Structure formats: structure tokens, C-alpha cells
């Protein structure tokens, strides 16, 4: 069990109980779902989740000043895990909702899969990218500990991340294009998939996060 306080940042977009339950399941016993800057400011670890449309997400993030809180946390070297739209919000810009300026904490783009997506054999691919796909770990990282190479995780998204600095990529997934399934920089780890819905592999990643020092190796 971990006595660390883990804050799940709640900016009003979607149900966050799943991620909190999954963290508790892997041994975190102080999980708080909140947008209170005082609690987030004191937390040992932070989860930055997100579902829904980017324009609404960014509006709520800014209204509740979660962008400033996040900047503080990242500078203080406390471990941060961003999930799905939470990951996308960290990039510079998203094509969703006719274009949305994002937090620009990680330089790069969030792009639409497109209406005519195909795999290598010319087979049409459906959008959203929904279901269990393989993640190739492109480099070693403490959050991959105990997770087999090419394990499947649960994805559901229509827009994908492409970071400008390719060395930040920690995981890659193929879906018509190669997407950044995971990014890592210092105390930040960001994933496009939903670890809280990814059964054994997802729970292992969350277990790794609960005990992560916030350093890359």
C-alpha cells in the first residue's frame, strides 16, 4: 500500500471514478478527485485525465486554472500521468473542433485520423480507433516495468498525438498511421490509451505509476 496522496484532476469532463478505482485496486489508498488547487498543490502524484471534445476540455482547464497547477507540478518533479484527452491537451494544437490551441507543454500536434483511413493492405479502418491495440515500447521506462513488449491496451479516440521531439516518444501504435501511444519527459508520462480499462497490462502501468520516483530511469 502507498500512503502517497494521488490527486486526479477533475475539470468536469467525464467520470473519473474508474481511474480512481483502478488506482485503489493497485494499492493507492489516498486517491482524491478534485480541482482544488490546495489539494493538488500538496499531492504527491497527479493524474491528468480527460474525455470528450477538446474545445470544452480546454475551456474548463483554463476556467479552473488547471493549466497553472499543472505547470507548477511539472516543475516540482512530482510524477504526473496524463491519460487520453489529458495527454492531447498537453500538446500545442489540436485539429478537433475546427482547431483548438492547447497547453503547449509538449510541442506537437493532435491530428484527425481522417475519413479514409486504411491499413497497410488497403483495408478500410473505422474511426474512432476503438478497442485493444498493441503498444510497442520504443524505449525503456520505469512505467513499462513488468509489461511485455507489444501488450494490448484499450484505446478510444478519433484524434492522435504526434510530438515534434521524436525522442519524447515512449510507445508507438499502428492504426493506419503510426501514433504516439505514450510520451515521456522527466516526471511526465502521457498515454493515449486508457490504463484504467486495460485489464492486466493497464493495472500494471498504474501500479508502476504509484511507486514511480518521477525519474526516467
Binding status of residue 199 toward other proteins by CB under 8 A: yes
Whether residue 128 is preceded by a cis peptide bond, meaning omega within 30 degrees of 0, is yes
Nine cell digits for residue 152: 494490448
- 64 or 127: CB nearest other proteins: 127
- Partners of 118 in beta bridges: 124
Concerning whether 66 is annotated as a catalytic residue, the answer is no
- Taking CB under 8 A as the criterion, the residue among 30, 197, 211, 216 binding other proteins is 197
Binding status of residue 202 toward other proteins by CB under 8 A: yes
Binding map of other proteins across residues 37-76, x = CB under 8 A, - = no contact: --------------xxx-----------------------
| Cβ-based burial of 111 (10 A; exposed 0-12, middle 13-18, buried ≥19) | middle
How far apart are the C-alpha atoms of 166 and 174, rounded to whole Å?
A: 16
> By CB under 8 A, what part of segment 103-142 binds other proteins?
115, 119, 125-134
Concerning whether 196 is annotated as a catalytic residue, the answer is yes
Binding status of residue 32 toward other proteins by CB under 8 A: no
Active site residues: 84, 194, 196
Query: Where does this chain bind other proteins (CB under 8 A)?
Result: 14-15, 17-18, 21-22, 24-25, 51-53, 115, 119, 125-134, 150, 152, 154-158, 174-175, 196-199, 202-203
Amino acid at each position: 500500500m502507498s500512503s502517497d496522496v494521488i490527486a486526479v484532476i477533475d475539470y468536469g469532463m467525464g467520470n473519473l471514478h474508474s481511474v480512481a478505482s483502478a488506482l485503489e485496486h493497485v494499492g493507492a489508498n489516498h486517491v482524491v478527485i478534485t480541482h482544488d488547487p490546495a489539494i493538488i498543490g500538496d499531492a504527491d502524484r497527479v493524474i491528468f485525465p480527460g474525455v470528450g471534445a477538446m474545445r470544452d476540455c480546454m475551456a474548463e482547464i483554463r476556467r479552473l486554472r488547471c493549466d497553472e497547477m499543472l505547470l507548477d507540478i511539472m516543475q516540482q518533479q512530482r510524477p504526473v500521468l496524463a491519460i487520453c484527452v489529458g495527454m492531447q491537451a498537453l500538446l500545442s494544437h489540436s485539429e478537433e473542433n475546427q482547431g483548438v490551441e492547447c497547453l503547449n507543454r509538449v510541442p506537437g500536434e493532435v491530428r484527425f485520423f481522417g475519413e479514409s483511413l486504411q491499413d497497410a493492405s488497403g483495408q478500410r479502418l473505422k474511426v474512432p480507433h476503438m478497442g485493444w491495440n498493441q503498444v510497442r515500447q520504443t524505449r525503456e521506462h520505469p512505467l513499462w516495468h513488468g509489461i511485455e513488449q507489444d501488450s494490448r491496451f484499450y484505446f478510444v479516440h478519433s484524434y492522435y498525438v504526434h510530438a515534434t521531439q521524436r525522442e519524447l516518444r515512449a510507445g508507438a501504435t499502428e492504426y493506419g498511421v503510426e501514433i504516439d501511444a505514450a510520451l515521456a519527459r522527466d516526471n511526465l508520462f502521457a498515454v493515449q490509451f486508457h490504463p484504467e480499462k486495460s485489464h492486466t497490462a493497464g493495472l500494471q502501468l498504474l501500479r508502476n505509476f504509484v511507486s514511480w520516483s518521477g525519474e526516467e530511469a
